[in-house]
Structure 1
């Protein structure tokens, strides 16, 4: 299966099953397209016999000479022999083994605070309440959660814990105590914790920054871009803007991180479809690690992205990609999360097929210790898996998430992007279609565009 497209002057051909990317001239681009139609269901190894060669020649002879066509056919056969073109899908064979695997938990999202000091208009967590009551996680519940993680992580050494909210800094003392407790578990259990935190920055101070720089492997800093954009969607509970309070702190924090990871993470909505300006605003502020996610919301919401907005968003990604390349070449580049793509080896087969591991390897913990497949399922009673005291009680739900993969989703089976997005977000699928094995259609279209841009960027920077 091939995916062919043109972007920023490049003719790009992706062999979906092998992951091989070819940047080619017009002749090869046309010849590969003809070959894709002719080869069809031929079993590997593919050989271009005289009949296929003749059909390729006939299709191309009005544009190219016989010599050019013969050379292209020869080059195509070389790529086929190298298993870089028209390769067959061998991954589906792995699927039946997924459900049989023992559930090994490797990561927890600790909802350290179901409360927030902002009132973001698009917040899926209802200002931190998650369809329930305001609450802060106690040290005892958090301790139980870490014990649960160690006990259910099997032989896996590296474990991940994200302090999440609401706003985690509203429960900062417990965060510090849990990090200390986690460190005490490492040596006796042959484990290593990787702690991360996501914050809106309102309560940031020097002491918190210093602690995070010592203990947090990654920090995610929430900001939506330009002042007018951010303050419209991310006001305080009192209705004031948050930009002027948090940006100086974020600039200082990012500089202090040194070689440790951080991300400025924004959300764009229908109010700022020209979001490339917001990403570049991040870069102009000096942030080197950036992300900008499309909002997910019901169409009835004024800020929600609609199908009719997709063409404009596509243009924004193209515009951003061109400027991204320009700045990289000028030595003032930055990283944009969705333009990072691995074209060499990529993730393991299980990750390529099933994605984030929600409901199996990755779980969310509420302030009172309930377990859910991920933070976006919190508060949906039908997805309550158990709790940190009694463990996973609804293994039937976990088993369904084990099989939530690209071959269980009809829309993914023939999609060229399936091994890069791994089927998309199960929570978004459930929100829009009532099933974890469907897909959020607008999200799919935007993801495919980002993948195309990311591959083009690789080609541009390699040249």
Structure 2
């Protein structure tokens, strides 16, 4: 009986530019440029349901040496790109008994001075009625971070809310404490926050600058776009105040580049126009976009047609990014920069993010949550700052999270997605482990677009990526 091999399309993506071909190995997120023999051999497998040794000899006898063909075939077999029958890479779940902390998010308040229509927080309220983290809970949280950081020489503290700048006094005190504590244990500490910008005064800006905060501003575009969903508690627009504060921040802030985070909610889909306003006109270093986190019946969530519109617009900006990258220029489209960084660094995800394995969040009362999106939610917590991390329950959660859904095993985007955001899944279905299938088609298409873009840049200007990764790290 003649042995045949079948191509395994779920284990790779390939893109050809002229006579050169780049291949992404999905299970490991490794990228290869194929030589002519490997490229033509792959083409044979893609053109037939099964290929035998006789088929290879008949096609390539006299064109390539047996050694060239055997080397290429051996590589394809080892990578699972061809196999006698369907082959799926199964990465065994790793028991996460203890993962050194690198980042701790401190939820300083459940209060916010805005009333954005799409806010995901279950416990959000006004500043007057908010629950707040007191100084003692904050310092104990920092102690926990330093204790659990283990060999990590650099740690990060993220101040979150509600609106964290409503608690600027405690931020000042906790920064002083954290710097002293870090110095005492021989670590470096970095700070960051996401803010709606309404409370940025010169004094606050100078304080953040002195301590080299990484700053992200929540802003959704020009006045009409921004004010559609980001309004005051009383219902008034906020753009004029935010734009004024942003301009002052960008003039005065020198220690790090400042990024913008845009939430795309229903009716606010002009990605190109938003980018142009925020990057070209206001002057943000980088602009990143995210669909609103919303349940299936939410009026602010994006429909399937709206998601298609968004991802098509992403491709338009992505093509601009590629054009600039080929010339050695930086483009400020954050989503594309992240995708290129993941491909360049060979990111391979068995978990969708670092929540629970390097990052945790502390709520106002001191309870420990998986990430900042879950503080104040109904999802289980994992200990508290007085008694420490509940290792057993957190380990069980992370072990379960590594079990791939059957549909994910054959998905060519699985190594860059790993099922999607826990909180997005929780918001939509009540189950943090259920993949966000609503985005699957777009994620696969976006990944394929990213691979084509990566290959085009890599072939035209491979030196671009080293600088691009360094530029992105400047935002952290």
TM-score by length of 1: 0.82
Pair 91,213 (structure 1): closer, same or farther in 2 beyond 3 Å: farther
Q: Is the counterpart of residue 410 in structure 1 residue 406 in structure 2?
A: yes
Distance in 2 (alpha carbons) for counterparts of 1:26 and 1:283: 42
| Greater shift in the superposed pair: 449-458 or 137-146 | 449-458
Which residue is 1:43 aligned to? none
Post-superposition CA distance 1:133-188 (Å, at most 9, x none):
61222111111111121222223222111000110000001001100000011122
Supply the distance in 1 between the matched residues of 2:69 and 2:379 (Cα, whole angstroms): 52
Deviation at 1:295, TM superposition (A): 1.3
State the distance in 2 between where 1:49 and 1:428 align: 45
Q: Distance in 1 between matches of 2:293 and 2:47?
A: 37
Structure 1 residues 314-367: Cα deviation after superposition (integer angstroms, max 9, x where no partner): 3212222123334556787432222122334434x6xx3224232343211111
Match of 1:50 among 53, 59, 62: 53
CA gap of 1:156–1:281, structure 2 versus 1, over 3 A, is same
Change (3 A) 1:2 1:139: same
- 1:209 aligned to 2:205? yes
Question: What aligned pairs does 1:23-422 form with structure 2 within 5 A after superposition?
Answer: 32=42, 34-35=44-45, 50-53=53-56, 57=59, 70=63, 86-87=79-80, 92-93=90-91, 95-96=92-93, 98-99=94-95, 101-125=97-121, 128-129=124-125, 134-258=130-254, 260-285=256-281, 286-327=283-324, 333-340=330-337, 341-342=340-341, 343-347=343-347, 352-393=349-390, 395-405=391-401, 407-422=403-418
Counterpart contact for 2:422–2:433, Cα < 8 Å: yes
Which among 16, 19, 25 is matched to residue 26 of structure 2? Answer: 16
List runs of 5+ in structure 1 lacking aligned partners. Answer: 41-47, 58-65
Q: Distance in 2 between matches of 1:209 and 1:410?
A: 49
Match of 2:457 in 1: 461
Q: Distance in 2 between matches of 1:30 and 1:391?
A: 57
Q: Distance in 2 between matches of 1:331 and 1:427?
A: 37
Q: Distance in 2 between matches of 1:204 and 1:328?
A: 34
CA shift in 2, pair 1:75/1:214, >3 Å:
farther
| Counterpart Cα distance in 2 of 1:126 and 1:437 | 19
Q: How does 1:427-442 map to 2 (within 5 A)?
A: 427-442=423-438
- Post-superposition offset of 1:368: 1.7
Counterparts in 2 of 1:49 and 1:359: CA distance versus 1, 3 Å = same
- Quick one: higher RCO (CA 8 Å, sep 6+), 1 or 2? 2
| Counterpart for residue 3 of structure 1 | 13
CA distance in 1, matches of 2:54, 2:415: 33
The alignment's TM-score, normalised by the length of structure 2, stands at: 0.80
Q: Deviations over 1:280-315 (max 9, x none)?
A: 222212222110111121232222112233432332
Q: Distance in 2 between matches of 1:152 and 1:435?
A: 28
Deviations 1:406-462 (A, max 9, x none): 543333222222222243211222332333322112234443343333333333334
Change (3 A) 1:29 1:229: farther
Provide the secondary structure at the position in 1 that maps to 2:438.
Answer: helix
Q: Is the 8 A contact 1:168 1:197 kept in 2?
A: yes
Let me know the Cα RMSD of the aligned residues: 3.6
Displacement after TM superposition at 1:397 (Å): 2.9
Give, in whole Å, the separation in 1 of the partners of 2:369 and 2:36. 51
Q: 1:370 touches 1:387 (CA, 8 Å); kept in 2? A: yes
- Count of residues in correspondence between the two structures: 438
Secondary structure of the corresponding residue to residue 280 of structure 1: helix
Q: Distance in 2 between matches of 1:145 and 1:83?
A: 49
TM-fit CA distance, 1:83: 7.0
Q: Which residue of 1 aligns with 2:473?
A: none
Q: Identify if the C-alpha distance between structure 1 residues 212 and 409 changes in structure 2 by more than 3 Å, giving closer, same or farther.
A: farther
Kept in 1, the 8 Å contact 2:295–2:427? The answer is no
1:161–1:195: 8 Å Cα contact kept in structure 2?
Answer: yes
